[in-house]
Chain A
Amino acid sequence: MHRLYRGLLAALVLWPWLPAAAETPPQAHQGVQDAVQSLKQQVLELNRDLFLLEEELLFPTNTQVSVFVSMDVGEFFQLDSVQLKIDGKEVADYLYTPRELDALARGGVQRLHIGNLRNGEHELVAFFTGKGPKGRDYRRGATTTITKGLGPKYVELRIVDQTRNYQPEFAVKEW
């Protein structure tokens, strides 16, 4: 009887090792996997071409304006949302997820807005809302005047930690 149960136990004895020991590469089902790989490549290329077409059609280079958000460290400011106004008109009001904040903190740059503007000067106002030093509610604005000329315009809104006064700083950089 005891031997009987030991036979049952044998399978269980082995299992704790299996997942940690090695990542078993999938061998089976190769045909479908090859097809999936090939389809992914083709769809990605198609998606790129569609993406380029869309941008050319909706945001021609002569009028295109893109606004990006980036974060350097972000210890003195925990971002919640950004509101963006161009010439007094709200064009973006973005609430961040923890995943997006993590991506920003690690060096990612978010394209907050893409739109069209005529040539000439435009006022850009960004409001950053979140938690400031000591966890207090924090809302700060940054204003700048950008000059749109021929060709696309890129503007970066940067949140930078100022160790000098332990405060966040909101800078606007034109590219």
Chain B
Amino acid sequence: MAGRTLLLCLLGLASLSAIHASAADKPHQVLDLDYGEVLFHFYQEDYFTAITHLMAASERERLPHHRQEAEMLLGGLQLSYGMLDQAQTRFERLLDTDSDPALRDRVWYYLAKVNYQRGHYRKAQRALEQIGDHGAPALGAERALLAANISMALGENAHAAQSLRGVRAPAGWKEYLEINRGIALLRAGNVAAGRAVLDDLGKQPAAGEELRALRDRANLGLGYQLLRHGDPQGARTYLNRVRMQGPFVQAALLGAGWADAEQGDFQAALTPWMALSKIGGHQPAAQEARLAVPYALAKLGDGEQAAAYYELALDYYEREQKNIDLAIENARSGTLIARLAQADTGTSGGWLHDNPTLRDVPSGRYLVEVLSGNGFQESLKDYRDLGYLAGALNRWLDKIAIYHDMVDMRRLAYERRAPKVRQRLARQEVTELKRRWLQFNTHIDAAREENDPLQLATTQENQHWARLADIQTRLDALPQTSAYAQMREKAAWLKGVLYWQIQADYPIRRWENHKQVRAIEPLLDEASAKQTAITRALAQARAGFSGYDERIRTLHARILALLPRIEAARHASGQHLQRLALEELETRKQRLVSYRSQARYALARSYDQLASTPGEHP
């Protein structure tokens, strides 16, 4: 985490580092799934989706346990997504309503960040002063860094150095705080203290490329500072520490040559300058080395070699100038913008980590270098964000047509089915079932009260009972003979047996009946609820369809209204990028023109000197 934030800081991405600080004190436990889902997108720097889902979850009131954090997170997301106005308003509102000290500290920190990003340094400073001691350690380090940046922006370098002194910082942060402290001290004119800080940092072992690059930067900066203050020997010590494989090698080689030259050792100066010439990059250091080499040769008295290298430098500058002219032409003709359009990666937020491929563009390498600049990246982010917004709306435009058809299909299906459903509802089937159930229930209750087992006799038993009763009636009508008397006895005995059987089963039957009747009750309730729901749905369906129609129509209109505005803003943003690119390319061109004229002048002087040396030339 710290390493990641450090990288972001190194890139100068204030907003991202700010919100990542909030990630350091992320909730330990997600209590609302929707909040967890927002975090899932946020941690991937997909701010657009994260903000959308957060707003949707708030709308549906699905964040009961994270209401305050959600507000804070939304402000942070808006800050990261470049919505400074909205972020500021939200944070200020949180200050109005919330009294939790830790949260207030975080809000003040973000307000300071917003104001700093907007260039309102005094306001940013005042916001920082409001912060108490309730924040997490990571916030403490970020806060110190922000305070230092604000002070430096206000020219208060000594104050900046002071604010970075002795800050408790999590792992990975210390080095970054120290390099800034060293710089602030140097800027404040306290060269000895600044040198001590940077010297210490430059000697430390560094794990990971980020920290190694930071160490290189400390050594390079210190080397140049000493060179400027007339200590070439000291400068050489620090410049030697810069890695050959690092991103600062070219500037270090150039400086090392100058350190040697300052000490009058032009032979030694040739080694780094020649190495730099061979690297063949397009950085100003490599271009300057083309002049430095013949300059050193001339100083060593080798006029012929110096003239030859000046010739080579002239060729090189002419070639480069042609390339840069081509790059300018490409920028003017819109090729640059066309290439940038291809840089849309389909994700919202984040930064353009890889520059678009410009391999096919003549002199594209100059454009790549221009694109790497921080100011350009800031504007490029706007350009890409607008592209993303347009893409998102265009995708909705396709989908919303389908949703319109879907609602139509549902309406048709409704029109087809509704009459049949209404017919069934009109039959009141559930009411009839309920009536029958109640009737049966009454019957059971009556049987229980009467305690008459025959009430619960089975159909067969009832048949047998009725038959025996019929037999008895018929036997009663016959003469009173002994044969009939026997039959009467047998009938009475059979009736008794039957009654005894019915009576024996009676308690079980009574319980079973009771159980079954009770079991039916919830089913009837459910059927009743469904009938009510269907009745309500039928009544609301028409209004629902027309409601969807209206919503779809409104949303469609909103999409269509926004798309041309996005396109116009993107065009303006593209034009701005083009201007920035052209300005930068023009600066580079002017530098080349200057190098070229100096090379010409030096070459002419070399020839003059050679010509004035008798006997050496024909």
Contacts and interface: CB of A to CB of B under 8 A. Distances in A.
B378 A48 contact: no
Given A21-B152, A70-B30, A39 B565 contact: yes
A106 B386 contact: no
B43 A103 contact: yes
A70 B558 CA distance: 36
B251 interface: yes
Contacts of A25: 116-119, 153
Interface stretch (B395-403, B461-469, B471-479): B395-403
B437 to A, nearest CB: 23
Interface in A129-166: 154, 156
A8 B590 CA distance: 12
A144 B339 CA distance: 51
B52 A36 contact: no
A145 B26 CA distance: 32
Given A19-B374, A20-B10, A106-B23, A57 B52 contact: no
A17 B60 CA distance: 50
Given A68-B36, A107-B30, A48 B572 contact: no
B181 to A, nearest CB: 11
A20 B55 contact: no
Contacts of B295: 1, 5
Given A5-B291, A53-B551, A111-B37, A48 B258 contact: no
Contacts of B393: 43, 46
A1 B303 CA distance: 15
Contacts of A48: 52, 55-56, 59
Interface stretch (A26-34, A74-82, A83-91): A26-34
Contacts of A125: none
Given A12-B284, A17-B221, A23 B14 contact: yes
A41 B36 CA distance: 23
Contacts of B400: 50
Contacts, number: 215
Nearest to B284: A12
A57 B403 contact: yes
A35 B180 contact: no
B389 A43 contact: yes
Interface in B109-159: 116-119, 149, 152-153
B367 interface: no
A36 B152 contact: no
B230 to A, nearest CB: 11
Contacts of B85: 34, 37
Interface residues of A, number: 63
B84 A37 contact: yes
B193 interface: no
B243 interface: no
Nearest to B118: A25
A19 B23 contact: no
Chain B interface residue number, banded: 35 or more
B251 A43 contact: no
B551 A109 contact: no
Contacts of A109: 30, 33, 36-37, 39-40
B35 to A, nearest CB: 8
Interface string B399-427: 11001001100000000000000000000
A27 B26 contact: no
A40 B81 contact: yes
A100 B41 CA distance: 9
A112 to B, nearest CB: 10
Contacts of B566: 39, 43
Contact of A15 (B81, B186, B251, B595): B251
B374 A12 contact: no
A147 B6 CA distance: 48
> For the complex, would chain A's binding face be called helix, strand, loop or mixed by DSSP majority?
helix
Contacts of A111: 37, 40
A101 to B, nearest CB: 10
Q: Which of A21, A48, A53, A106 has the most CB of B within 10 A?
A: A21
Contacts of B14: 23
B51 interface: yes
Contact of B149 (A22, A47, A99, A103): A22
A45 B74 CA distance: 13
Contact of B258 (A4, A9, A37): A9
A48 B56 CA distance: 6
B27 A45 contact: no
Interface string A39-61: 11111111111111110010000
A175 B34 CA distance: 12
Q: Which of B13, B36, B41, B85 has the most CB of A within 10 A?
A: B36
B312 interface: no
Interface in B272-323: 284-285, 288, 291-292, 295, 298
A72 B295 CA distance: 64
Contacts of B572: 31-32, 35
A110 interface: yes
Given A21-B180, A54-B403, A109-B40, A32 B558 contact: no
Interface of B: 10, 12-14, 23, 26-28, 30, 33, 36-37, 39-44, 48, 51-53, 55-56, 59-60, 81-86, 116-119, 149, 152-153, 179-180, 183-184, 186-187, 217, 220-221, 224-225, 227-228, 248, 251, 254-255, 258, 261, 284-285, 288, 291-292, 295, 298, 374-375, 378-379, 382, 385-386, 389, 392-393, 396, 399-400, 403, 406-407, 548, 551-552, 555, 558-559, 562, 565-566, 569, 572-573, 576, 594-595, 598, 602
3 A-B pairs closest in CB distance:
A109-B36, A108-B40, A103-B43
Given A23-B13, A33-B82, A43-B393, 13 more contacts: A8-B291, A12-B288, A16-B251, A20-B217, A24-B375, A25-B119, A31-B572, A36-B385, A41-B83, A44-B48, A46-B393, A48-B55, A109-B36
20 contacts: A1-B602, A8-B598, A12-B285, A13-B225, A13-B228, A16-B221, A20-B10, A25-B119, A32-B379, A32-B382, A36-B82, A41-B83, A43-B393, A43-B566, A49-B558, A50-B555, A102-B43, A108-B40, A109-B37, A109-B39
